Chains A and B, each alone.
Chain A
């Protein structure tokens, strides 16, 4: 649990400013605060792809998101440490495979993120 909280806090360090302090100005308090862990583009891609698939392999995600091994590995690990996705490693014959699934917590966080985004747009109009 503490590890997950630490992962979420650490993920926030390399993410954009919170919703209430964009471009240095303070926006009305009603604007929801965004989940920094998902807000980052690569991680948003991973979660979005897993939201419509039961599971995806490391190579499938790499092809889909057009990213590198290292980049995908780093971002997937952050999501895994936060409990948003689960990772299953196994051997198919002699070939090692890595498969990712979206967890219940990850789906909740994703749904909430979508709701927050829609709220931000609604308020801007």
Chain B
């Protein structure tokens, strides 16, 4: 009579004992995950397009000159809204080009993380613009825009190269100066959205590629 041998069932996946080398396929999956995370983190780290920032900054200078010929009226606001749309378009194209060059989509995890940090202060600035302009407080707008843009750059650039939060702090300082030291609004806008973008953009392009 054949000896009865109980069947063995493997109810749980293979477990790796501490100190034991994991199977190669487990390690391969782990390695690929590590590679993807490192690539995404480092792509986000230098995703800021230097030359794109220079180009966006260059569009702000003629806008400031045009806006300076109007006294915070509806035409003045139109100029700056048009400039904002133009600068954002330039930045989006530059970010996409840089992301394509690095082989990672900018809509991947880190891209979404940066956008979710950067967008709320900008949305707040856009919403605050409406009541302030209606309340004939147009002269406050440049300081408020610079301040909140600076906040967005600091929060969005938290995972980026260290120069990005410095740029955000510079925008905030300029915004504060426009609000409290009565720095002329259009000059502050030219110095911030023009000068700071061009200066920091050239620095980033030189250090981390365009």
Chain A residues engaging chain B, CB cutoff 8 angstroms: 16-17, 19, 22-23, 27, 31, 39, 41, 44-45, 48-49, 51-57, 60, 63-65, 114, 117-118, 120-121, 123-124
Contacts and interface: CB of A to CB of B under 8 A. Distances in A.
B208 A22 contact: no
Most A Cβ at <10 Å: residue of B20, B38, B102: B38
B34 A16 contact: no
A41 B103 contact: no
B45 interface: yes
Contacts of A44: 31, 34-35, 38
B32 interface: yes
Contact of B42 (A31, A39, A52, A117): A52
Given A27-B24, A114-B32, A55 B45 contact: no
A54 B46 CA distance: 10
The list of the 4 closest CB pairs from A to B, nearest first, reads: A124-B25, A54-B209, A49-B42, A48-B38
B23 interface: yes
A39 to B, nearest CB: 8
Interface string B145-169: 0000000000000000110000000
A45 B31 CA distance: 10
Nearest to B35: A48
Contact of A53 (B23, B32, B209): B209
Interface of B: 20-21, 23-25, 27-29, 31-32, 34-35, 38-39, 41-43, 45-46, 102-104, 161-162, 207-209
27 contacts: A17-B21, A22-B24, A23-B20, A39-B31, A41-B34, A48-B34, A48-B35, A48-B39, A49-B41, A52-B39, A52-B102, A52-B103, A53-B45, A53-B46, A53-B102, A54-B208, A56-B42, A57-B207, A60-B45, A63-B162, A64-B42, A117-B28, A120-B24, A120-B28, A121-B25, A123-B25, A124-B25
Nearest to A92: B207
Contacts, number: 80
Contacts of B102: 52-53
B32 A118 contact: yes
Most A Cβ at <10 Å: residue of B32, B35, B102: B35
Contacts of A39: 31
A102 B171 CA distance: 34
Contacts of B23: 22-23, 124
Nearest to B104: A52
Nearest to A119: B28
Given A53-B46, A53-B102, A114-B32, A60 B39 contact: no
A53 B38 contact: no
A123 to B, nearest CB: 8
Contacts of A19: 24
Contacts of A121: 25, 28-29, 32
Contacts of B38: 44-45, 48-49, 64-65
A124 B104 CA distance: 27
